Amino acid sequence: MATSRRSFIQWTGTAGVTLASSAVRAGTGDDVVVALIGCGSQGRGVAKSMAAVPGVRIAYVCDPDAERLKAARTELGAGEPVADLRRILDDRAVDAVIVATPDHWHAPASILACDAGKHVYVEKPCSHNLREARLLLEAARRNRVVVQHGTQSRSNPLIVNAVKLLREGAIGDVLVAKAWNIQRRKNIGHQRPSQPPPGVDYDLWVGPAPMLPFQENRFHYNWRWWHAFGNGDIGNDGTHEIDYARWGLGVDALPTTAMGLGGKYGIDDDQQFPDTATLAFEYPGDGGVGKRRQLIFEMRLWSGNYPHNCDSGAEFYGTNGQLFVSKRGKVELLDGSNQRVAVKPPADLPPMPSHQADFVAAIRGGTRPVADMEEAYRTVALVHLGNLAVELGRSLQLEAGGDRVVGDDEATRLLGGTYRDGHWAAPRSSS
């Protein structure tokens, strides 16, 4: 699918934010040319699923680690290896990119790709801070490209059917959602800086983030637990549960209040993020009875005990019942008297396109994907506000629009990020 075809995409709607149609339709026979940026196991898995969609071709694999580049080419059996993503952005034949880098690169790489006219499949969470998420949403709309967030539960028939039940009033008016992520995480120990492994361009890996010396337990995978590079497990596994809890709750804005308690309760190591957290968010609506909504999230990373024998899931409480659902394949519906109500078992639900197939269909059809960037922005806002409330040890009152925390200049500043001076990938406002 030649890049020049993008000029035929037509848009309608207020301020041009609604994608209406495209001259490029599924079944035209044109390949969708895709590049993988970030060749860890998650990136390779997404790329394999993308390549399985008819008419998709993987043209590049990109990573500053030569060993990961080699592994990606071997596993995918395709893709020209490059270390610097700018090579991909300069290639007009590339239609879309998969961004599966560490979190600190998610928004910078995705914004650059949008501005280069590429569609983007970005892993969760889509940003390292709330301001980046807003800038990525603006870039997606400004450039009229598809951005799919890697919250693949939105392509899970079980989750989709559970949300449908909620929308149909199965438990009355849904007022509260409670989600959790409970598991035993490994201790990453205490280490000191050392030399990067051979074949790693560490300067490129750090990218626009503040430069820190290489340290083994803040590199591959473990970067998640460091402020400069990750979002902790609230942003890692927690993003999935927060996303479908918010979806089921039916809120389509940012919360006005974010509260959080937590810290390192059970794991003594170098990790900078909490291993224990309880978050609460309020959506007031117009403030009237029946209009307010609350979302709660719990995380414990030192425990093997969890509700419904599921390490992750969400419960929804309505005026006439309760619904529990988990991406682990479980669902339970209770009426207002706490009696079980029969629901369709997972095996009887109709199949859905994969999350990757949905992305490709959106590109070809000129539609929004199931995990569109606007939904991603609303979900990761909870990740960032929750982490910030725990870090600062106080509740946050967010102004409408999400740009400021009322009466809290420090928290407002921390809604954005810190970048290396003058770095070419540091996100900037287009205004």
- What φ, ψ does residue 260 adopt, rounded to 5°? -160, 140
| 88 and 181 fall within a common domain | no
What angle (nearest 5°) sits at the alpha carbon of residue 99, between those of residues 98 and 101? Answer: 140
The whole-number pLDDT of residue 7 equals 27
Query: Is 376 domain-assigned?
Result: no
Domains in the chain, number? 2
| 42 and 172 fall within a common domain | no
Query: 28: helix, coil or strand?
Result: coil
- What φ, ψ does residue 101 adopt, rounded to 5°? -85, 180
Question: Mind listing the pLDDT tens digit for each residue in 81-113?
Answer: 999 999 999 999 999 999 999 999 999 999 999
Residue 147, pLDDT above cutoff 80: yes
Query: Is 73 domain-assigned?
Result: yes
Query: Is 305 domain-assigned?
Result: yes
**Once rounded to an integer, what is the mean pLDDT over residues 151-163?**
97
Tell me the CATH number at 60: 3.40.50.720
Domain end among 151, 174, 196: 151
Domain range enclosing 54: 3-151
- Rounded Cα distance between 312 and 387, Å, is 19
Residue 431: band (very low, low, confident or very high) from pLDDT cuts 50, 70, 90 = low
| 141 and 172 fall within a common domain | no
Give me the residue label for tokens 């942003």: 235
| 209 and 306 fall within a common domain | yes
| 171 and 222 fall within a common domain | yes
**Once rounded to an integer, what is the mean pLDDT over residues 27-42?**
86
The answer to whether the beta carbons of residues 245 and 179 sit under 8 Å apart is: yes
Listed in sequence order, the DSSP H helices in 144-211 are 157-167, 202-206
* Token duo for residue 428: 């900037």
Query: Is 359 domain-assigned?
Result: no
Question: Mind listing the pLDDT tens digit for each residue in 326-357?
Answer: 999 999 999 999 999 999 888 889 999 999 99
The answer to whether the beta carbons of residues 427 and 128 sit under 8 Å apart is: no
Residue 135, pLDDT above cutoff 80: yes
Query: Is 364 domain-assigned?
Result: no
Mean pLDDT of the chain: 92
Query: Is 375 domain-assigned?
Result: no
Residue 430: band (very low, low, confident or very high) from pLDDT cuts 50, 70, 90 = low
Any bridge partners for residue 318, and if so which?
A: 174, 321
The answer to whether the beta carbons of residues 276 and 286 sit under 8 Å apart is: no
The answer to whether the beta carbons of residues 46 and 121 sit under 8 Å apart is: yes
| 96 and 182 fall within a common domain | no
| 99 and 111 fall within a common domain | yes
| 138 and 163 fall within a common domain | no
Query: Is 279 domain-assigned?
Result: yes
The whole-number pLDDT of residue 106 equals 98
What are the C-alpha distances in Å from 266 to residues 187, 212, 262, 303? 10, 26, 11, 9
The answer to whether the beta carbons of residues 296 and 238 sit under 8 Å apart is: no
What are the C-alpha distances in Å from 389 to residues 151, 209, 382? 23, 22, 10
In this structure, the number of other CB atoms found within 10 A of the CB of residue 359 comes to: 32
Tell me the CATH number at 213: 3.30.360.10
Query: Is 372 domain-assigned?
Result: no
The whole-number pLDDT of residue 17 equals 39
Any bridge partners for residue 263, and if so which?
A: 276
| 97 and 233 fall within a common domain | no
**Once rounded to an integer, what is the mean pLDDT over residues 131-140?**
98
* Token duo for residue 326: 């988990």
Q: Which amino acid is at 116?
A: A
| 162 and 137 fall within a common domain | no
| 169 and 100 fall within a common domain | no
For the residues of 265-327, what is the DSSP string, one character each?
SS--SS--S-SEEEEEEEE-TTSSTTT-EEEEEEEESB----GGG-SEEEEEEETTEEEEEET
* Half-sphere exposure in the Cβ direction for 345 (13 Å, CA): 1
- Rounded Cα distance between 281 and 167, Å, is 21
Q: Which amino acid is at 94?
A: V
What percent of the chain clears pLDDT 70, i.e. is strictly above it? 93
| 31 and 91 fall within a common domain | yes
Query: Taking the complete model, does pTM exceed 0.85, yes or no?
Result: yes
* Token duo for residue 122: 């970005």
